[in-house]
Structure 1
Amino acid sequence: MKSWTFRPRDSSKAGEPPIQLVLLGGGHAHVHVLKQLNQLKQLNQLKHESQLKPLKRQGLPKRADRGNSKLLPAMEVTLLTPDRYQYYSGMFSGYLEGNYELEDIRIDLERMCQKAGVRLILAAAGRIDPEGQTVMTDSGQCIPYDVLSLNIGSVVAKRVGGSDRTSDRLPQLKPNYYVATLKQLLQSKERIVVVGGGASGMELAMSVQAGRRCASSNDSKDGSLHDVTVIYTGSPLAAYGEHASRRMEELARRRGLHLIGNDRAVLIDDGELVLQSGKRLPYDSLLQLTGSAPLPLLQASGLETDASGYILVNEQLQSVSAPNIFGAGDCIALQSHPELPKAGVYAVRQAPVLWRNLCGYMLGDPLVRYRPQRTYLSIISTGHQEALLQYGWLTAHGHWCWRLKQAIDRAFIRKYNE
């Protein structure tokens, strides 16, 4: 595997152009980087050194903590992302149920870029060229970089073959900005089928079910066409353990979902879903929530990836084949923890490490290690302002769990929109 070397620029020399830092994707980690850049911009505007706040709180390298007048080399930062907003997936269930408006679940990236002095390009990346140190947009625009950071998420793994001549019967949840149209689309459909019994599949199914029941004032639980169908190969929430799985199945049936377990969807046949058992399920809307898959441009870049196609990074969140490329979130595979789940909570925890290492790399300072937490709090909405909570051995369900989830989610959005 070819290894590319960073070509540094000494921006302190007269006439030297600033370092080009390109942020590819507007995910959780890059939202944090934008916030830090804004705070750094404000710090640099202070006239008196005595007014400077302790920079350790901003996640800056120790070199900057010592009060160096040039906290970072001169640089220009560009954010490349296809949409003005970052939609927070943790609040999708509440939005689909009707608890939130669209404005409640998104972060305004354009506003953050303006405050931080970051150039925003609204386009999707079509190609990454590590050797030429450029990113090409899908429209053909070439963006050069000296340092590149990836936070582009993943796509839904398409595990069911076949096709449907009516495209709106196969709505997409990723990229995340598709959620803006998903709610209205699902409300107009009669027979909704969800493939996948993991956290995403069960949460979305139960939220849509609750929203439809509320909208139609239909309290029937007779398995009518108004009920959402969920198909999974084993049991729901299998990765969460037997207790959580049984609890979720009980809750789903109580909510009126039509559950088909121990079966597999094998073919999409123009309005019908064919199962391994031979059953054929007609649908008006089919959602596949069967895990994640990497974006094709990652493998096409020539960067070293894992067997699935995610960018392979070391403990410093740095590409193992191109040291001037960093990454966070679903698009990376951590070399030291290859089985780390694709969950937003890890991207949130990776964000401060990513920011510090981007700064440290440009300053020539030592980089810090990212250490994944062994366990994390998981709260899955079950509709009707209730949720299932799991943390280690603890499993609980009720309105208080939903209130806790709501408080955490609203605080996250408020932190970056204020």
Structure 2
Amino acid sequence: MTTKVILVGGGHAHLHLIRSLMDEHDDHVEVLLISRSSHQVYSPMLPGFAEGIYTRDQVLINLRTLCAKAGVPFIQREAAYINTRQRKLVCKDGAVYPFDILSMDMGVDNSSSYTKEKRNKNSDMLDTIESLRDSYYPLIVGEGLIEVELALAIQSYKQHNSKKGHVRLLGESRLLPAESNWTYQKVVRILNSRGVQTWENEAVQEVQENYIRTNKKNKVRFTDLFWHGHTVPSKLFLASNLPIDDNGFVKTIATLQVKEHPYLFAVGDSTIMGKEVKRSESETNAAREGELLWENICHYLHGTELGSFHPQKRSYSVLSTGNGEGLLIYGAVSVHNKKAWKVRDKQDQSYMHHLLS
């Protein structure tokens, strides 16, 4: 008898699981991927794309192609809710898929994603970046790693392609709040040296067609605006009455199973575990989650003991700083040069080659 396993979402842990099925396949297990999009952007390579180093094809993962290589059917639909009693996944268009085991890896949405053209969270991120690069005064609102890296990358693109204007960056708290104060000070110096105009600890109170007003009464003008917003977990958890915390993140246990629902698995940023992981460490943990996820699904099917996952911090991280350079951080030691960027570039390209080959 065939066991039906549904994967909801094309997150990086699921991609790693699907890649592993190219090498090991169980004829008694039928795996199906359901995602609202047929393509997944490999987010660590976004700064390189913004800087003009990578092309679209280099940063996009075609889920249909990947699934076809692994013999996994791909269905482009958006999940609405899970009927946990009958073990059925219901999609927004009414399609219903029964399952024995279901895993969720959808990532997070953004509560206030906004651009001048009113593109929303479902917009093509690559189109958004191209628009910002061509804009005279693009304003990026956000204090996280992705916002800082994009600001530096777009500024670098402008300088190397003779694009007039400069990037503006506004953080509603201190820039890079998840990083050490030492790293923060280093990055601020880099931002200043590259000509990125910054504001910190200023909350947006008003958004108009060509400016925003902050709680400090500053009026920051722009010709294009990117506001990624605060991350919020998938609404699928609430709609399915799954155990969630006050912010909507699904509660999981160390085996990656949803609390009180052993036949449901959840990984990635939308889980209690995932929201505690720094972005610079998330890709490493996603690969490890993908390995353990498939192992634990198989253990669950055979009634054997499941393994536990413990987030692992990387021994080093590399922040993209534009100009083909990176800031490599290893404990209290840092290196800022082109060789540091090449370390990150090699790592990301190796990942994509392994995934797609």
- Same fold judged by TM-score > 0.5? yes
Q: CA deviation at 1:110?
A: 1.3
Q: Structure 1 vs Structure 2: percent identity of aligned residues?
A: 25
Q: Secondary structure at the match of 2:349?
A: helix
- The answer as to 2:322 corresponding to 1:368 is no
Aligned partners of 1:22 and 1:238: how far apart in 2? 36
Of residues 128-137 and 98-107 in structure 1, the stretch that sits farther from structure 2 once superposed is 128-137
Counterpart in the other structure of 2:153 = 207
- The answer as to 2:89 corresponding to 1:131 is no
Aligned partners of 1:282 and 1:191: how far apart in 2? 8
Aligned partners of 1:216 and 1:338: how far apart in 2? 39
2:291 to 338, 341, 352: 352
How is 1:18-417 mapped onto 2 (pairs within 5 angstroms)?
18-41=2-25, 72=26, 74-158=28-112, 168-171=116-119, 178-216=124-162, 226-334=165-273, 339-341=276-278, 343-417=282-356
Change over 3 Å in CA distance of 1:212–1:19 after alignment to 2:
same
Output the amino acid matched with 1:104: Q
Q: Are the counterparts in 2 of residues 330 and 347 from structure 1 also a CA contact under 8 Å?
A: no
Aligned partners of 2:262 and 2:151: how far apart in 1? 42
Q: Secondary structure at the match of 2:124?
A: helix
- Unaligned segments of structure 2, at least 5 residues: none
Q: Are the counterparts in 2 of residues 329 and 344 from structure 1 also a CA contact under 8 Å?
A: no
Change over 3 Å in CA distance of 1:95–1:374 after alignment to 2:
closer
Q: Are the counterparts in 1 of residues 80 and 239 from structure 2 also a CA contact under 8 Å?
A: no
Q: Are the counterparts in 2 of residues 170 and 287 from structure 1 also a CA contact under 8 Å?
A: no
- Unaligned segments of structure 1, at least 5 residues: 1-10, 12-17, 42-71, 219-225
Q: CA deviation at 1:227?
A: 1.0
Aligned partners of 1:117 and 1:208: how far apart in 2? 39
Scaled by the length of structure 2, what TM-score is found? 0.92
Q: CA deviation at 1:323?
A: 0.7
Q: Secondary structure at the match of 1:274?
A: strand
Output the amino acid matched with 1:28: H
Q: Are the counterparts in 2 of residues 73 and 362 from structure 1 also a CA contact under 8 Å?
A: no
Change over 3 Å in CA distance of 1:73–1:118 after alignment to 2:
closer
Output the amino acid matched with 2:319: I
Output the amino acid matched with 1:132: Q
Counterpart in the other structure of 1:4 = none
Q: CA deviation at 1:39?
A: 1.1
Change over 3 Å in CA distance of 1:171–1:228 after alignment to 2:
farther
Aligned partners of 1:34 and 1:327: how far apart in 2? 15
Q: CA deviation at 1:196?
A: 1.4
Deviation string, structure 1 residues 150-183 (Cα, Å, up to 9, x no partner): 110001243x9xxx8xx653445x56x7223223
Aligned partners of 1:32 and 1:235: how far apart in 2? 34
Aligned partners of 1:77 and 1:110: how far apart in 2? 14
Q: CA deviation at 1:241?
A: 1.2
The root-mean-square deviation of aligned C-alpha atoms, in Å, is 2.2
Q: Are the counterparts in 2 of residues 156 and 288 from structure 1 also a CA contact under 8 Å?
A: no
Q: Secondary structure at the match of 1:323?
A: strand
Aligned partners of 1:150 and 1:187: how far apart in 2? 34
